[in-house]
Amino acid sequence: MDGFIYFNDRYGHNVGDEKLKEIAKLICQNLPDGIDVFRTGGEEFLILINNLKMAEVVLLAMRICKAVNQNYSHLPPLRRFFGMSDNSYVEVYFPLTVSCGVAFYPEHGVDYSTLYPAAEEAALRGGKNLYGGVVGVARNLYSSCFLPSTENKNSDL
């Protein structure tokens, strides 16, 4: 979840925990049967997928981004601060969004200790997009492409 700390700051951790449970259900509803979903801590989820083509995995991640964006677009925008390299910052308002990082075996790692950090890095790079709701594909795969969500492109800059 992009900037979920701001959601917790605004609504409180109890509401945030309930929202994460709702989001977990939403993720599961947008995946085929037999795919395992785990909460890895904080606002991060891990989805293990076997026997699908890379394009199918990316499309599933995009579907999850779209579902979260659509279901939570009614919430008031959250205030976020983005630090600049000269120590200045930009204050912006954005809706609750999700970024998905995708990593593939064996292209990005051969076990959990290499695959998870690759997917996490991709998600973090995706979450730095000011609009959120993107899918970051791990490095060395089609030039580390970012696939923007088709929803929630409005912001109050």
pLDDT digits (tens, 9 = 90+) for 81-138: 888 999 999 988 888 888 888 999 999 999 999 999 999 888 887 766 645 666 777 7
Short-list 19, 31, 16, 4, CA closest to 132: 4
Please tell me which residue, 127 or 38, carries the higher pLDDT value. Answer: 38
Neighbour count for residue 145 (Cβ, 10 Å)? 10
Classified by CATH at the fold level, domain 4-148 comes out as Alpha-Beta Plaits (3.30.70)
Domain boundaries, the chain: 4-148
What DSSP letter does each residue of 38-94 carry, written as one string? EEEETTEEEEE--S--HHHHHHHHHHHHHHHHHHHTTSPPEEEEEE-TTS-EEEEEE
Predicted pLDDT at 37: 94
Q: What's the mean per-residue pLDDT of the chain?
A: 83
pTM of the model: 0.77
Predicted pLDDT at 123: 85
